Amino acid sequence: MILGAKLKGAGFNVRIIDESVLGRRIGDSDMDADWLCLTLMTPTAPRGYEIADRFRSRNPRGRVAIGGIHPSLLPDECVPRADVVVQGEAEEVIVDLLRSGSSEKLVQGARLEDLDSIPLMDYSLLEGAERVRFVPLITSRGCPFNCAFCSCTSMFGHKHRRQSGPRVIEELKRVPEGAFVTFSDDNLLEDRARFDAILNFLVSDNRRRKWSCSARVTQIHDESLAEKMAAAGCMNVTMGIEALDSEALEGMNKKQSPDDIRKAVRILRKHNIPVTGMFIFGWDSHSRRVFDDVARFCDAERLTTFVFWILTPLPCTRVRNEMESAGRILTNDWRWYDLQHAVFKPKQMSQAELQSGMLDAYSRLAGTGSMLSCAFGFFSDIAENGLSARAALARTIGRLRFRLGLRNVMNQWKENNGVFLESMAGWS
């Protein structure tokens, strides 16, 4: 919506369409435009190409511009699909590009240093915005870290660029009434002074906004920070735990230890902030026992929610470079690069074992034993963390509800992935 707001300010008529918001696929009736601008991530690239091809066949005079992280990392792949591909951040070039076109098929964007110059979000541009209950805000770009599996630094660089505290507060004031704010920054807590200013506003705000964010494990070791986050209405912190063994953590350059992970989880639990733990299966140190190890951790540490990913060799990452050199990548069909599909040869198990292991870990945590563990966690929350019975009950219900929902998620995954499972059998 940032680019949409910038184009609207320059006099363009803008309509933003997101299939996940609409709950349907983009069709012919959505394609009456002079320009089709597509933002693509790696797993959405094939669908983006379909939309671009359909737009060009239905609207021969229309033009297609493609940008986003996937085209920025693999521009040569995208050039044949569009009239122009923007490589990198597009704020500085988008208006002139759509106003005057380009004689070049590949246009180089520029990393924006002053993020306060970005226009405020204009929710009126998003079709179906009235259905949105979760508002994502990204207030910074770039990452000073360099995890082996992540393509963030290839796109946005190592320098952490950020909007000022007052600018973030201005954005928060524009969030629709009742919407849940999700800070989608990779490093929201990197500038502590800025984050403190945001928390001070949220504490004092009469609207009592509810929000969530992501954080590095080592950023949550400050008890006073967790206490302030809770007072400011934080409803969830997502942490990239990634792995529980030191060998995998060191191999991915995560710069955290198993003890760091447990400390952060327990600090947040103490202050009644639910934790979403994100884990990646498939590191070279992982054998089939990793699935049980992670499931036991989720129960023992009473994680409210958790997300299991399969290690994915995304473009321009160290993981991909190493796997390509070793001949371990089984497919470059980007549809399966959504972190939920095994697309490479693991070292200590088969591809099928990696795929089924992820599903089995979810199934175990949706089973009767895990449900009972959740129920007994009610008493632990009171005894260990001093929660009131009401707060402990709410947390317990949240854990149980999530695990019950896993059963439907797993069934849907199996129903929707017959093509992948057939393809996987052919790769091995």
pLDDT tops 90 at residue 208: no
pLDDT tops 90 at residue 126: no
More confident residue, 71 or 128: 71
pLDDT tops 90 at residue 74: yes
**Which range, of 226-230, 333-337, 379-383, averages the lowest pLDDT?**
379-383
pLDDT tops 80 at residue 132: no
* Beta-bridge mates of residue 308: 279
pLDDT tops 80 at residue 129: no
The winner for highest mean pLDDT among 174-183, 211-220, 419-428 is 211-220
- Distance from C-alpha of 129 to C-alpha of 373, rounded to nearest angstrom: 39
More confident residue, 276 or 382: 276
Sequence-distant (6+) residues with CB within 8 A of 314 are: 42, 149, 150, 151, 320, 337
Amino acid 19: pLDDT: 85
CATH architecture of 2-108: 3-Layer(aba) Sandwich (3.40)
Amino acid 428: pLDDT: 61
Give the tokens for residue 317: 């990452």
pLDDT tops 90 at residue 425: no
Give the tokens for residue 404: 């019950």
Q: How many residues does the chain have?
A: 428
Angle formed at CA 138 by CA 77 and CA 204, multiple of 5 degrees: 175
Q: What are phi and psi of 352, to 5 degrees?
A: -65, -35
What's the mean pLDDT in 207-219?
Answer: 93
Give the tens place of pLDDT for each residue, 239-261.
Answer: 999 999 999 999 999 999 999 99
- Distance from C-alpha of 313 to C-alpha of 324, rounded to nearest angstrom: 9
**Which range, of 101-105, 120-124, 250-254, 364-368, averages the lowest pLDDT?**
120-124
Q: What are phi and psi of 88, to 5 degrees?
A: 100, -165
Q: Which helix (H) or strand (E) holds 300?
A: helix 290-300
- Distance from C-alpha of 203 to C-alpha of 201, rounded to nearest angstrom: 5
| Burial call 266-298: b when 16+ CB within 10 Å, e when fewer | bbbbbbbbbbbbbbbbbbeebeeebbeebbebb
pLDDT tops 90 at residue 20: no
What's the mean pLDDT in 52-80?
Answer: 95
Amino acid 233: pLDDT: 94
Give the predicted TM-score (pTM) of the model: 0.93
Give the tokens for residue 65: 């511009």
Which numeric CATH code is attached to 133-273? 3.20.20.70
Amino acid 351: pLDDT: 94
Residue closest to 236 by CA, chosen among 194, 161, 184? 184
Going by pLDDT thresholds of 50, 70 and 90, the confidence category of residue 348 is very high
Q: Which helix (H) or strand (E) holds 9?
A: helix 2-9
**Which range, of 151-160, 335-344, 372-381, averages the lowest pLDDT?**
372-381
Going by pLDDT thresholds of 50, 70 and 90, the confidence category of residue 191 is very high
Question: Mean pLDDT in the chain?
Answer: 92
Q: What is the torsional sign of CA 266, 267, 268, 272?
A: positive
- Distance from C-alpha of 73 to C-alpha of 42, rounded to nearest angstrom: 9
Amino acid 310: pLDDT: 98
Give the tens place of pLDDT for each residue, 361-410.
Answer: 999 999 988 889 888 888 888 887 777 888 888 888 988 999 988 888 88
Residue spans per domain, the chain: 2-108, 133-273, 276-428
Q: CB 348: neighbour CB atoms within 10 A? A: 15
Amino acid 252: pLDDT: 95
Residue closest to 395 by CA, chosen among 279, 270, 294, 293? 270
